[in-house]
Amino acid sequence: MTVTETPRSPLEDRQHHAENAGRVGAGAFNARQLWLSLPEALRKLNPKHQLKNPVMFVVWAGSALTTVFAIVEPSVFAILVAVWLWLTVLFANLAEAVAEGRGKAQAESLRRSKKETVARRLTEDGSEESVPGVDLRVGDLVVVEAGQIIPGDGDVVEGIATVDESAITGESAPVIRESGGDRSAVTGGTTVLSDRIVVKITTKPGESFVDRMIALVEGASRQKTPNEIALTILLSTLTIIFLLAVVALQPMAGYSGKEQSVIVLTALLVCLIPTTIGALLSAIGIAGMDRLVQRNVLATSGRAVEAAGDVSTLLLDKTGTITFGNRKATELIPVGGSTMDDLARAARLSSLADGTPEGRSIIELIAANHGLPETAGDNEKLAEFVPFTAQTRMSGVDLGDREVRKGATSAVRQWVRERGGAMPDETERIVDEISQQGGTPLVVAENTAGNAFVRGVIRLSDVVKPGMKERFEELRSMGIKTVMITGDNPLTAKAIAEDAGVDDYLAEAKPEDKMALIKKEQEGGRLVAMTGDGTNDAPALAQSDVGVAMNTGTSAAKEAGNMVDLDSNPTKLIEIVEIGKQLLITRGALTTFSVANDLAKYFAILPAMFTSIFAQLGALNIMHLATPQSAILSAVIFNALIIVGLIPLALRGVRYRPSSASALLRRNLLIYGLGGIVSPFLGIWVIDLIVRHIPGIG
């Protein structure tokens, strides 16, 4: 027995994600989150934590230094600079604490779903023993019946049952889990609603998916990604350059008889180094992981999320991803001397007892187009149903001396010949046309009183999901190649690929074919992403750069991939790529803003600082800042406040729009580059209008 779960449409999927986001407490950013995260931000003032971020450690050291000088030689200017430098460090910590706080809210929701259970473990002699769930080991067999909680992650090795996974996935509808297929995996903490299953434990205590997910969203297992490390090195280099630039100012000022104080030089350094992106870098990475978790995707590391953003080839299964999976009857084509009415009646009769999706769609088509009833009449109820088998490749009914069959062309042809009939030549032509157009032909034949003949052909269409062509076009505009993987014959695969709008396809695909395709793409320098759920998908999932395993799949598939989709929705791979892209775009946009912001602050405050030394610089003081002290203090205040202002953007992410790399660069320069240049001039000017009135500053 095999029960399939109907995949959601993209719109339904997004609504489902939104509901899940609300369930785990990852709501939109608000001021309350800042207040709740403040204690954690204060704890992060520990120098051991600051050492992890070189840029912010320089700010922390500068804050400590100015505090010492403010105590030794107190002044309004020194005290205010010291206070705002500490606030700069605090606001940077706050950005990270808010991001982690959202994850902790999710973790708390998941932690509540964990329940300590008593497991019914099977012994070698087949008897049962009750043991605590934490004592289970890999390979143990446990019995779980209706109303009981599954004690650990594993695979169903015996039986079939409906399982409530709402505590983990947020999906209220129960799912089917059964032995011997690709929907055998179960998650610890979920509840069996019916029947009895035997589960083979596949994870150690404390290493279940829920445990790993809790560690992930709390940030305990988050490690810096290669791009993040590279950016940290770049920021550290810029910090050293600006440090040398500030140090070089002192000899020049001393030569002019206007040496600057340590407080002024420290404040200037903090304003010029890339504190904005340095403060937000960690929050951006955490928020990217958070967006994945909101969509019920468990990534083993931030590296996988980042790789998703750099993916250039997507391997997508046809069934359930590109198409709905259940083929639907879309047309009846009579042949020979049969009329459309004759074919409709024969096709309906052969499908009345056919409970497959294809059989039901035939009944619905005939009822809609020919007005025939969807239910069997009293006489038709006496018919003997002949089920489909892999050997006969046909199904139908026997009613008195009348036999009606529908099925594969070759099988029906043989059936007709055995009863003395023949298949019309036009049937072969129609069958070939349907196959070339991506459809599946079913031939309908009848044998009445020893007279066997073909009534016609039913066209079954594998319907492409709405909007898929547009989504593939968006991916193409981003330089991402899409490849459809299917077991269909090349003719059918080609037709569906053209209808869906994918760039390429792999027909009659076997596991080794997927592996070969992935390696070929990777040899060309491309990063490859794919989805899978079966044990035979494990090698390809392990080979791909982003392997998304379905939670309903086997443990082998989940261990091989670097992401697990708890919703088991194959179309989510496209969303995962979009989330990865958004992470990289957000990091790039805020880096552009930060660098432009630092350069703008340099040219905004230096003229005001040195006008008294070099009168010619007065012409560059376009904002007419009151005094060097007000210029420095205004810049320090702006430098701190801009971090708070950008926290929502860092957590929410820059809006994702499919575009080419060149278009993205132009957008970053126009919006964030130009914004980074303009905002310091406006912000420092406004703040200076206020601080110039403070005694000892103006």
Gap between the Cα atoms of 574 and 552, Å rounded: 19
- Write the CA distances from 261 to 63, 73, 247, 625, 667, integer angstroms: 14, 11, 12, 19, 41
The answer to whether 317 is a known catalytic residue is yes
**Contact residues for 378 (Cβ-Cβ < 8 A; gap 6+):** none
Q: Is 102 annotated as a binding residue?
A: no
603 is in an annotated binding site: no
CA distances from 488 to 194, 419, 459, 465 (A): 36, 31, 16, 18
Which residue in 93, 82, 149, 87 sits closest to 120, CA to CA?
Answer: 149
Q: Is 130 exposed, middle or buried (0-12, 13-18, 19+ CB in 10 A)?
A: exposed
The reply to whether 406 sits in an annotated binding site is yes
623 among the known binding-site residues?
no
Which residue of the set 153, 317, 462, 545 is catalytic? 317
Residue 323 gets which letter from DSSP? B
Describe the strand order of the beta sheet including 384-386 as a list of residue ranges: 328-334, 451-461, 439-448, 402-407, 394-399, 384-386
Helix residue spans in 382-453 (DSSP H)? 409-418, 425-436
391 belongs to an annotated ligand binding site: yes
To the question of whether residue 358 is assigned a binding role by annotation, the answer is yes
Single-letter residue type at 443: V
Q: Rounded to whole angstroms, how far apart are CA atoms 668 and 608?
A: 30
Residue 131's Cβ-count burial label (10 Å; 0-12, 13-18, 19+) is middle
* 379 exposure class (CB count in 10 Å sphere: 0-12, 13-18, 19+): exposed
How far is the C-alpha of 87 from the C-alpha of 89, rounded, in Å?
A: 5
Query: 563 among the known binding-site residues?
Result: no
The answer to whether the annotation marks 184 as part of a ligand binding site is: no
Q: Are 144 and 177 in contact (CB under 8 A)?
A: no
Check whether 537 is labelled as a binding-site residue: yes
Helices marked H in 125-165: none
Q: Quick one: which H or E segment has residue 20?
A: helix 10-23
533 is in an annotated binding site: yes
Is 394 annotated to bind a ligand? Reply is yes
With 0-12 CB in 10 A as exposed, 13-18 as middle and 19+ as buried, what is 656?
middle
- 41 annotated to bind ligand: no
515 appears as a binding residue in the annotation: no
Residue labelled with tokens 């019920």? 296
Catalytic residues: 317
Annotated binding-site ranges for Mg(2+): 533, 537
Annotated binding-site ranges for ATP: 354, 358, 388-395, 406
Annotated binding-site ranges: 354, 358, 388-395, 406, 533, 537
